[in-house]
Structure 1
């Protein structure tokens, strides 16, 4: 079997995907693991990709890893080269509105329209729900007049805020930083009202069929990447400061947030 690589989650533009492909190629070469890069553009469902038996090095959100919607072996997670990450493999969601929105606080957006991506997304669903939960408890009921779900992608959240079909939505802050780098014209029309708490960063994963020795070598190669001569250029292009080792337990925070919201009777951000 030929194992595949993919960086769809953070392939925000062709330039970014090319950089991810080059980075994965360097890591795989050092690990002596043969991988074939498979483009997998939106709107193809990520959950179908994650369930493939030939995953060798594919980006996956930590919440579905914790939910076990696919049987995978976590390898390593990027450390965002952004001040809010503090040198750790963490991320957050930016709650975005149009730049010309009258909203100045999160509470100003209540009674309007919120959007979310898919229910197995951390940045586009679980983090938003966790952030809204205290407000929902205080109000004792729905915060928004309308909640538009199943928007699927971060790009659709961005576009929906810009075109006015939703008034506020959650945007993966690492994705936000990358799209601002490669397509600044798309982010010039939005601003961030608030950001959610930090949570474990999405990781590169493999299928259980990847031999254990190959898994071990990939983990070692990711850990060593920051010290390699090829890394600075690609790290700068991808806003990555290095990689941290991860396992299934690394993503427990996402499940804790899920359980808290469900136990409170708040299954959907609304």
Structure 2
């Protein structure tokens, strides 16, 4: 989910290797890159640590249990496991405000995404209450943040949502791509995607994994890794914290706003 490019993927692999050593548990890093469906990953029975978006996690449709959530180092979350969606356009676009994008082409990722679908829909809802479509085209599923960027730069869409933590990583590791994008607005902060284990993993194992990650911010070995991943550390989470995402979805659906557009 957050393997922005090979350098970031390598940093995650190093971090999970450290977790394996620190917890005394053998972890095998598996490759599940796009376009492999994330819902297939979340249904596996052998997950020790895997990212899941908060929206499908809160919906309860997958047999997983929470371990920890990452805490971005950026100011947006104020030291808490929060993120948002940036609504981005091409840097050279003449669009200066969100309202100026109405009537154009809007991109979105996939219906089970918080940052690429649910947050986008909630942010647009106040403008949509009159019932008319805001955009001439609603382009999706684009599936990943990377495809949103590609669609923007190719002129396939005029505006799209970009996970703020993905953007943090892009700024750090791919500044030339980040420079081609411009943020128009940012949605309200919400609980960030979390690391989960399969439902059947024993509590003692989950406890060891959680303990290792909660201690990562105080370890000299992991300090440079966390810096590369633009994290200040990890935080314990409860399933109930993600209920706000379901509240947002229900509000949009009750207003008849099913798909972004």
TM-score range, shorter chain: over 0.9
The answer as to 2:187 corresponding to 1:225 is no
Which residue of the partner structure matches residue 104 of structure 1? 96
In structure 2, how many angstroms separate the alpha carbons of the residues matched to 1:131 and 1:202? 18
Following superposition, the deviation at residue 154 of structure 1 comes to: 0.4
Q: 1:12 deviation in Å?
A: 0.5
In structure 2, distance between residues paired with 1:190 and 1:183: 12
- Equivalences for residues 85-164 of structure 1 within 5 A: 85-137=77-129, 139-164=130-155
Q: What residue number does 2:39 align with?
A: 47
Paired residues of 2:54 and 2:192 also in contact (CA < 8 A): yes
The 2-side partners of 1:29 and 1:210 are apart by 18
Shift of 1:204: 0.6
Aligned to 1:173: 164
Q: Could you say what the CA RMSD is over the residues aligned between the two structures, in angstroms?
A: 1.0
Please tell me whether the aligned partners of residues 65 and 198 of structure 2 are also in contact (alpha carbons under 8 angstroms).
yes
Distance 2:181 2:212 in 1: 38
Name the stretch that deviates more: 73-82 or 33-42: 33-42
Q: Give the SS at the match of 2:205.
A: helix
1:247 Cα deviation (Å)? 2.5
CA distance in 2, matches of 1:57, 1:140: 42
Cα deviations by residue, 1:132-184 (Å, 9 ceiling, x for unpaired): 000101x4311001101211000000110111100000000110111222122
**Structure 1 residue 190 and structure 2 residue 186: aligned?**
no
Which of 24, 33, 44 is the matching residue for 1:32? 24
- Return 60-69 or 168-177, whichever deviates more: 60-69
Q: Equivalents in 2 of 1:135, 1:230: separation in Å?
A: 48
Is the Cα contact below 8 Å between 1:129 and 1:261 reproduced in 2?
Answer: yes
Aligned residues: 261
- For the residue of structure 2 that corresponds to 1:95, the secondary structure is strand
Corresponding residue number in structure 2 for 1:201: 192
Q: How far apart, in 1, do the equivalents of 2:215 and 2:116 lie?
A: 31
Distance of 1:248 and 1:51 partners within structure 2 = 18
What corresponds to 2:225 in structure 1? Answer: 234
Deviation beyond 2 Å, 4+ runs, structure 1: none
8 Å Cα contact 2:69/2:194 also seen in 1? yes
Report the Cα distance in structure 2 between the residues aligned to 1:41 and 1:180, rounded to whole angstroms: 21
- For residues 235-255 of structure 1, what are the alpha-carbon distances to aligned partners after superposition, in whole Å with 9 as ceiling and x for unaligned? 110000010101221211111
Contact kept, 8 Å, 1:73 with 1:247, in 2: the verdict is no
Once residues 153 and 245 of structure 2 are traced to their aligned partners in structure 1, the CA distance between those partners, rounded to angstroms, is 28
Contact 2:216 2:223 in 1 (8 A): no
State the alpha-carbon separation in 1 of the partners of residues 81 and 57 from structure 2. 15
